[in-house]
Amino acid sequence: MPKPSQPPPLQATPRLGQAGETFEAPAWFGWLEMSGQGGAILAFMSILMGVATSRIAISKHLRVRSTTVSAWVGAMVKAQLVTELPSKPGGRGRPLGQLIANPNRLAVAVLMVHSQALHLVTVNLLGQEIWHDSAVVDPQGDNAAMDAALKGLQQRALVRLPQGTHMVGISYALSGLINVDAASWVFAARWPGIRNLKLTALPMPAGAALQVVRNMDAQLQARCIRRGTVGTSERTLMLHWGYGIGAAFSVNHGASVDNTTGFGEVGHWQLSNQSLRCRCGHSGCLETVAALWAIGPALLGTRFGHAMDETQAAELLRTMPLTEHPVFSQALQEVVLAACNLCRVFFPSHLVITGPFIENPGAWAAFTEAFSKRGLLVDLPLPRLEAQSSGHQLEQEGAAVPLLLDGLLQLLEPSAV
Ligand SMILES: [Zn+2]
């Protein structure tokens, strides 16, 4: 039986620097490969990512005729995606005929939930945050309170949009129960007063698209794409054990097995012999004995706050003797059991656990040991067990890139074939 192990590092991604700033650009070439896009879009990305920054370099890099490159460059310049420096002497500093991409030509607003706050981030084509603001919504808040907070953030984002930047859309990366097709936020553990919040009712900028995605799906898709051909050939089950508990599954190219309604609500499946009241309104859910919202007070005492972000919780939990705490031990056993049962449903090749608890080394060791002991069926191998650190980078990329790609296609479509 193979032993679970720590994950290999994610595929190296370009880190570009500008004026001392370091940031991680989206894994654009992986996204293009997954979507089957080439032509002018691929040429633009080669310029944007610094892979080929002249007509000749693009022609060599993509192995296309110079006349084709000329048509693409003409379209990119017309769309204000690219500036071409003069090809004759006279300019200073930069090479002749250099193509310079404008990463701020398109942007997307990504709405994410961090603890008890909504964060709206305007992201450009390089994944840079060109604007970021947040709004705390009271845990007792209802649909009207959430609606007002979302409207306020969106209006501020539009006012602060740089001149010459087109907002291609707003992407809501949400936790809880989401109806993706209906663009409805059905339920969120952090705001039990919200029910079926219609995101289609919010004002949208002219020509902008609306996208609603489960934050775990966005995270998993970006993760698979960053792992390249390895990631897109895996059957990956992601289990989040944090403030709430949820799951996502991808079988090919990071596409979720079901992205419509209610997939992965493992946090609310029922335990026997449990009667604790859950935030969803039912009793005996897994979250009542294992989610951070339920066991945080017992583990952290007065240091726990419902408004804390999971990264803050991870910092506090990291050095605690968690496995010696009976409340945590019960939680661990229940989550391991849930993970094992999910593996009997999906038979993943990889099981990725995220959230603050497993950042405690002792807790992770106990999880891997308990998971290994339970085994799968007959002599079937266990999936490879991996821990993934907390953070919002993958979620943001997974939520932003599809809309940015659509926006690029609309700008370059006539020459993209
Ligand atoms: Zn529940």
How many angstroms separate the alpha carbon of residue 117 from the centre of ligand 1?
21
Write out pLDDT tens, residues 396-408.
999 999 999 999 9
| pLDDT of residue 156 exceeding 50 | yes
How many angstroms separate the alpha carbon of residue 355 from the centre of ligand 1?
18
How many angstroms separate the alpha carbon of residue 206 from the centre of ligand 1?
39
Question: Is 229 exposed, middle or buried, given 0-12, 13-18 or 19+ CB atoms closer than 10 A?
Answer: exposed
How many angstroms separate the alpha carbon of residue 363 from the centre of ligand 1?
24
Instruction: Look at 371 and 92; give whichever has higher pLDDT.
Output: 371
Query: What pLDDT does 233 receive?
Result: 64
Residues linked to residue 387 through DSSP beta bridges, in sequence order: 353
How many angstroms separate the alpha carbon of residue 282 from the centre of ligand 1?
5
How many angstroms separate the alpha carbon of residue 266 from the centre of ligand 1?
9
> pLDDT tier at 95 (50, 70, 90 boundaries)?
low
What is the separation, in whole angstroms, between the first and last Cα of the chain? 49
How many angstroms separate the alpha carbon of residue 283 from the centre of ligand 1?
7
How many angstroms separate the alpha carbon of residue 287 from the centre of ligand 1?
6
How many angstroms separate the alpha carbon of residue 79 from the centre of ligand 1?
49
How many angstroms separate the alpha carbon of residue 392 from the centre of ligand 1?
25
Query: What pLDDT does 257 receive?
Result: 46
Q: What domains appear along the chain, each with residue ranges and CATH number?
A: 15-104 (1.10.10.10), 106-218+394-413 (3.30.420.40), 224-391 (3.30.420.40)
How many angstroms separate the alpha carbon of residue 297 from the centre of ligand 1?
18
- Strands of the sheet containing 245-252, edge to edge, are 255-256, 245-252, 236-241, 350-354, 384-388
> pLDDT tier at 74 (50, 70, 90 boundaries)?
very high
- Name the token pair of 178: 């989401």
Strand 166-174 vs strand 106-114: parallel, antiparallel, or unpaired? parallel
**CB distance 246 to 240 below 8 Å:** yes
How many angstroms separate the alpha carbon of residue 268 from the centre of ligand 1?
4
To which residue do tokens 């609309």 refer? 410
Query: What pLDDT does 16 receive?
Result: 35
Across the chain, mean pLDDT equals: 85
How many angstroms separate the alpha carbon of residue 278 from the centre of ligand 1?
5
Q: How far is CA 370 from CA 19, 320, 340, 342, 364, in A?
A: 48, 19, 10, 15, 10
How many angstroms separate the alpha carbon of residue 113 from the centre of ligand 1?
19
How many angstroms separate the alpha carbon of residue 260 from the centre of ligand 1?
19
How many angstroms separate the alpha carbon of residue 139 from the centre of ligand 1?
16
How many angstroms separate the alpha carbon of residue 144 from the centre of ligand 1?
23
Q: How far is CA 118 from CA 143, 174, 290, 301, in A?
A: 14, 10, 24, 25
Write out pLDDT tens, residues 237-286.
999 999 899 998 887 654 554 454 556 688 998 988 888 999 888 899 99
